[in-house]
Chain A
Amino acid sequence: MAKEKAVPTWDVSDFDNWKTEDFPIGMVGLEAGNSRDYATGGWRSDRPVWDESKCKHCMLCWVICPDSAIEVVDGKMTAINFDHCKGCGVCVGECRFDALKMVPEHSEEA
């Protein structure tokens, strides 16, 4: 039975300053699915660029993205979440419509 997702109550905002006794016993993560709070986009060296005009919204990139970085609203792709995209390029490799390409992270191209 589907339950409403509990509101996160685990405050990790001051994590970098935690003392030994601040960590949960055994390093149990007290909130599941909190990887969304940890931005990993800085690991990227290459970046996917999305051409909306070519996109058929087939959702193949959404299915295969290992970081759930393809943002979708009402069945339509809307953007790439660069807080979490690590630039692996799997979406570019799988796109059947040339709607995605990789460029170097420092490129001006958007």
Chain B
Amino acid sequence: MATQTTVSETGNSFVATAYRQVAPEALFAYPITPQTTIVEEFARYVANGKVKTEYVTVESEHSAMSACIGSAAAGARTMTATSSQGLAYMWEELPIAAGLRLPIVMVNTNRAIGAPINIHCDHSDVMAARDLGWVILFAENAQEAYDHTIMAIRIAEENDLPVMPSLDGFITTHSISRGEIMDDETVTKFVGVHQPKHSMLDSDNPTMVGGFSTLGNTYMNIKKALRDAIDASLPSIKSIGDEWAAQTGRSFDHVETFGMEDADEAILVLGSAAGNVRAVTRKLRGEGRKVGMVKLRTYRPFPAAELADVLKGCKSVAVLDRSDSYGAIAGPLAIDTMAALFKAGVDVKVRPYIYGLGGADVKLEFIESVYDDLADLSDGGLNPGLTYLGI
């Protein structure tokens, strides 16, 4: 029977525990703030014999992802973790992992990318990797980061896709919070044994991985297969989340809401700031305001239909992006949201905001001011377009 233990740990410690329980056959990692304590704690588990993973301390993130690709192609359950400049340094390998359809799991601790150099939270690292064929999950807190990490290995192996569960740097990775850790046996049973479809080490059935495909339609067919697979992973992620929820009692949805049953104004957000938005939403609802909050746990594939359905009763919506898409009309989440609403034929006013870059404070009064802006917008006020919040 599933037994959970309540602990107070940092987010990274929750993630390192999930790594130990998933017990990948191979892990290749290079430390980078604020991911470091994940791979450090996991190294301690390996050194102390708590897990039998082949742990390789590679010389860079470029090597880490390259080694992960080789290892996954050889048929091993393979994991790594990174952040910020490290994720950027892996960029060349990220679409290769997806194109080869390798079920690699990599937690990203969301951190700003330079310049200026900054070690604190925003989503500019993970958002720059959003279009490469990786499944991307956003955790609001340490508990979700733990749950997503365990779900991720199933999502990866059942859909032949690499998966990047993410948690916000320092805010979630380094703050100590309370949460529940599942017993090892239940996790072992949940993740099962990896049965690779092919293994480069199977000398009886030799295969070719990473072939050349330039002329003709092969390249385009392989890319369409990737598009079909990541679209098809949406219901699969939900059913794996439901299966995990049956063990933990903690529900999973691509789109999670608070107060949306009667909201005229809504704020959509990813990651840790969902807590700030929920607190303000709860306070304003107590004062009789019809406001609601929406957060996404699944970002790629984008749950467009579900999101449009949740927002369709609103008059106006603010989308808070923790990274910009320079030169585009708004941040990435706002662009995705506008496209989802347009596609669904839902006519809701959308005001895009950029907040919290490089760990800038997300004060509760900022969130309250966004709701005031939206009330004005709902009453026919002008939409000034992209707004940097709090400066």
The chain A residues found within 8 Å of chain B, CB to CB, are 3, 6, 16, 18-21, 23, 25-34
Tell me which residues across on chain A come within 8 A of B203, comparing CB atoms: 3
In contact, B225 and A21 (Cβ under 8 angstroms): yes
Interface string of B163-198 (1 = CB under 8 A from A): 000000000000000000000000000000000011
- How many residue pairs at the A-B interface have CB separations less than 8 Å? 54
Interface string of B195-229 (1 = CB under 8 A from A): 00110000111111101010010100110110011
- B100: CB under 8 A from chain A? yes
Complex Cα distance, B209 from A32, in Å, reads 10
B212 nearest in chain A by CB position: A27
Tell me which residues across on chain A come within 8 A of B292, comparing CB atoms: none
Chain A nearest CB, measured from B358 CB (Å): 37
Q: List 19 A-B contacts (CB under 8 A).
A: A16-B216, A23-B221, A23-B222, A25-B160, A25-B225, A26-B102, A26-B160, A27-B99, A27-B213, A27-B222, A28-B100, A29-B209, A29-B211, A30-B198, A30-B207, A32-B206, A32-B207, A32-B208, A34-B208
Instruction: List 18 other contacts, CB 8 Å, given A21-B225, A23-B218, A28-B209.
Output: A3-B204, A16-B216, A18-B221, A19-B221, A20-B221, A20-B225, A20-B228, A23-B222, A25-B101, A25-B225, A26-B99, A26-B102, A27-B100, A28-B208, A29-B211, A31-B206, A32-B206, A32-B207
Chain A nearest CB, measured from B92 CB (Å): 17
Tell me which residues across on chain B come within 8 A of A21, comparing CB atoms: 225
A29 nearest in chain B by CB position: B208
Question: How big is the B interface, by class?
Answer: 20 to 34
In contact, B206 and A33 (Cβ under 8 angstroms): yes
Q: Is the interface of A mostly helix, strand, loop or mixed?
A: loop
Chain B nearest CB, measured from A97 CB (Å): 36
Chain A nearest CB, measured from B304 CB (Å): 22
Tell me which residues across on chain A come within 8 A of B206, comparing CB atoms: 31-33
Q: Is the interface of B mostly helix, strand, loop or mixed?
A: loop
Complex Cα distance, B59 from A19, in Å, reads 41
Complex Cα distance, B197 from A21, in Å, reads 16
In contact, A23 and B207 (Cβ under 8 angstroms): no
Tell me which residues across on chain B come within 8 A of A28, comparing CB atoms: 100, 197-198, 207-209
A27 nearest in chain B by CB position: B222
Interface string of B349-389 (1 = CB under 8 A from A): 00000000000000000000000000000000000000000
Tell me which residues across on chain B come within 8 A of A32, comparing CB atoms: 206-208
Chain A nearest CB, measured from B65 CB (Å): 16
Tell me which residues across on chain A come within 8 A of B225, comparing CB atoms: 20-21, 23, 25
Tell me which residues across on chain B come within 8 A of A27, comparing CB atoms: 99-100, 211, 213, 218, 222
Complex Cα distance, B208 from A23, in Å, reads 13
Chain B nearest CB, measured from A48 CB (Å): 25
Chain B nearest CB, measured from A19 CB (Å): 7
B210 nearest in chain A by CB position: A27
Tell me which residues across on chain A come within 8 A of B213, comparing CB atoms: 27
Chain B nearest CB, measured from A38 CB (Å): 11
Complex Cα distance, B205 from A29, in Å, reads 11
Tell me which residues across on chain B come within 8 A of A19, comparing CB atoms: 221
Chain B nearest CB, measured from A23 CB (Å): 5
For A6, A18, A23, A26, the residue with the greatest tally of chain B CB atoms inside 10 Å of its CB is A26
Tell me which residues across on chain A come within 8 A of B218, comparing CB atoms: 23, 27
